[in-house]
Amino acid sequence: MTEVVEAPGAESAQELKRITHWINGTSVAGEPGRSGPVYNPAAGIQTGEVDFASAEEVDRAVQAAKEAFASWRAVSLSRKTEIFFRIRALVDAHREDIAKILTAEHGKVLSDAKGEVARGLEVIEFCCGIPELLKGGFTEQASTGIDVYSIRQPVGVCAGITPFNFPAMVPMWMWAPALACGNTFVLKPSEKDPSASIYTAELLKEAGVPDGVFNVVHGDKVAVDAILEHPEIAAVSFVGSTPIARYVYETGTSHGKRVQALGGAKNHMIVLPDADIDMAADAAVSAGYGSAGERCMAVSMLVAVGDAGDELVGAIKERLPKVKVGDGMQPDSEMGPLVTREHRDKVASYIDKGRDEGATVVTDGRETAPDGGGFFLGVTLLDDVKPEMDVYKDEIFGPVLGVTRVSTYDEALRLVNENPYGNGVAIFTRDGGVARQFQFEVNVGMVGINVPIPVPVAYYSFGGWKNSLFGDLHVYGPEGIQFYTRGKVVTSRWPDPATSKVDLGFPQTR
Ligand code: NAD
């Protein structure tokens, strides 16, 4: 499957892994001319070159998926369940291998990569129950001799466009329910860390997923536009930044597709004066710097209420020198590098920007980044951040945690509710009444009460509000099943000579 080619722009003379498309059950090399670099972020060197699909190559994948659809949707639910149990067993058996692929191209530490696979696996496990999930309703004798029932059917060829930060889990959120519901799939993963998708394709084939049911095309805007405009694609799931999510939603729906497009985030963690400050500080450090802050559910802004601020900042500051930043493959590393040099530099630029805007730089991650060529940045803490500052408004997507101080719970709530994003939020308090009030009045899709990263379990659905989601349905869980199916209601009567007669009137219940 993997060929070795000499690619332009390599930072070393090493041989580069070539990452190809996967169409109709086999690896397909892209047409020459368009490709992109893949890096090992911990070493800061290029390790691969990924093919970028043209519109024609995307069309080949879509045609393969279209051809496979008729027979895949007809496969019985018990057979599909059997295949899903095999997929589950194979992903479980290869957790470690998948995690290593993630660490090699994304940079996240191995333990975090294993956690990613585990959370994706939970979605696959949920899909093993597809016969139960697709059960319809039945009404006997709705009218005399007439029964009515509802069924859910697959929509056809579905596509998924995914971000760099969860190269295995986010695709699993999409292809697992899509396939379980009887659809076929074309995945366009992030071009920054594309190998996990090809490894997944190989596992699905081994599990017995027929050729053409799952396809992968790599690439950039050209491939994305070809998906959004393709007349044979019925539904598109997207996860990525807000401007692209909006574009995908608007373009896809204008081409008649069902679209769910999840965007960026600015997640607040409110700490009330009665909170357990040690618990809150542990949570803030874990949720702010885990995966180097490259999580859509990362906490990026702490809102300290009343006199919680000084104690909280002190407790976090104390913890920061202990965070071990290093190569994700090393077992003692707790935080790896950022995904690319360009992204690292952009994140680092927010430290000066914050200082210029008037924030206090408590810890500067540039001073603690490991030496060498890797795309590392240490942990940064900014205090006295104000809502009008760019460091508050922008999704920095790196290990930069801001603290803003407010006097009251109402002020904290207003900040969250006025923010254009609405992905995740957390409140830390010992007061159950306030927590319950918060859950009632906060305008955010996923809420944690003393839980900093409230990613829903697989049998609930994941999704934000406001600029964090364009579309109506969240991903995976019950809403995922709804997204990948459409309803049909059948009204039926069987010939009964005793009740049959000509009646030209409008059908009425009898
Ligand atoms: P991104 O928006 O740059 O890329 C996402 C996908 O869109 C990729 O497959 C990419 O190839 C494609 N793309 C990029 N530019 C495009 C363009 N101009 N036209 C068409 N397609 C384009 O996002 P990213 O940097 O890979 O991922 C990080 C972002 O994803 C963050 O904003 C993060 O919050 C968000 N994210 C959100 C969730 C969520 O559930 N809401 C989950 C994970 C990541």
Q: pLDDT for 266-312, tens place per residue?
A: 999 999 999 999 999 999 999 999 999 999 999 999 999 999 999 99
Q: From residue 61, give the alpha-carbon distance in Å to each of 72, 213, 222.
A: 16, 10, 14
What's the CA-to-centroid distance between 245 and ligand 1, angstroms? 7
Question: Which amino acid, 322?
Answer: K
Residue 117 has what pLDDT?
Answer: 98
Q: Determine which residue's CA is closest to atom 28 belonging to ligand 1.
A: 240
SS3 track for 311-357: HHHHHHHHHHHHCCECCCCCCCCCECCCCCHHHHHHHHHHHHHHHHH
Tokens 């368009």, located at residue: 34
Q: How far apart are the first and last CA of the chain?
A: 64
**Ligand 1 atom closest to residue 464's alpha carbon, by position in its atom list:** 41
Nearest CA to ligand 1 atom 10: 190
> For 316-337, what is each residue's pLDDT tens digit?
999 999 999 999 999 999 999 9
Ligand 1 pocket member 464 (CB < 6 A) = yes
pLDDT higher than 60, residue 344: yes
> Is 127 designated active site?
no
For 200-215, how does the pLDDT look when each residue is reduced to its tens digit (9 = 90+)?
999 999 999 999 999 9
Cβ–Cβ under 8 Å, residues 399 and 367: no
Question: What would the 3-class secondary structure string for 58-106 be?
Answer: HHHHHHHHHHHHHHHHHCCHHHHHHHHHHHHHHHHHCHHHHHHHHHHHH
pLDDT interval class at 508 (50, 70, 90): confident
Interval between CA 241 and ligand 1 midpoint (Å): 4
Cβ-proximal residues to 470 (8 Å cutoff; 6+ apart), any chain = 245, 246, 248, 249, 250, 259, 260, 261, 263
Tokens describing residue 441: 């009045």
In 155-200 the beta strands, taken as DSSP E runs, fall at 157-161, 184-188
pLDDT bin (cut points 50, 70, 90) of residue 3 is very low
For position 6, what pLDDT does the model report? 35
Segment 438-466 shows an average pLDDT of: 98
Top mutation candidate among 50, 52, 190 for ligand 1, by most atoms within 8 Å of CB: 190
Work out the average pLDDT over 424-445.
98
DSSP codes joined into one string, 437-454 = HHHHH---SEEEES-SS-
Tokens of 281: 């500080």
246 DSSP 8-state letter: H
High-pLDDT (> 70) share of the chain, %: 97
Specify the amino acid at residue 257.
Answer: K
Which helix (H) or strand (E) covers residue 35, if one does? strand 35-40
pLDDT-based confidence at residue 167 (cuts at 50, 70, 90): very high
Q: Which atom of ligand 1 is nearest to the CA of 296?
A: 34
- Examine the pLDDT at 8 and tell me if it is beyond 50: no
Distances (CA, A) of 217 to 66, 160, 411: 15, 10, 47
User: CA-to-CA distance for 427 and 434, rounded, in angstroms?
Assistant: 9
pLDDT score at 247: 99
Is the C-alpha dihedral spanning 155, 476, 99, 34 positive or negative? positive
240 Cβ below 6 A of ligand 1:
yes
162 in ligand 1 pocket by Cβ < 6 Å? yes
224 lines ligand 1 (CB under 6 A): yes
Cβ 75 vs Cβ 296: under 8 Å:
no
In the predicted model, what is the mean pLDDT of the chain? 96
Question: How many angstroms separate the CA atoms of 328 and 211, rounded?
Answer: 35
Query: Residue 397 CA: which ligand 1 atom is closest?
Result: 31
**Taking the model in full, what pTM does it have?**
0.96
Does residue 401 surpass a pLDDT of 60? yes
Bridge partners of residue 446, in order along the sequence: 424
Picking from 95, 79, 115, the residue whose alpha carbon sits closest to that of residue 208 is: 79
Atom of ligand 1 nearest to the CA of 240: 30
The CA 57 to ligand 1 mean position distance, Å, reads 21
Q: Of the given ranges (117-126, 405-414, 494-503), which has the lowest mean pLDDT?
A: 494-503
Whole-number pLDDT of residue 14: 64
User: Is 467 close to ligand 1, i.e. is its CB under 6 Å away?
Assistant: no
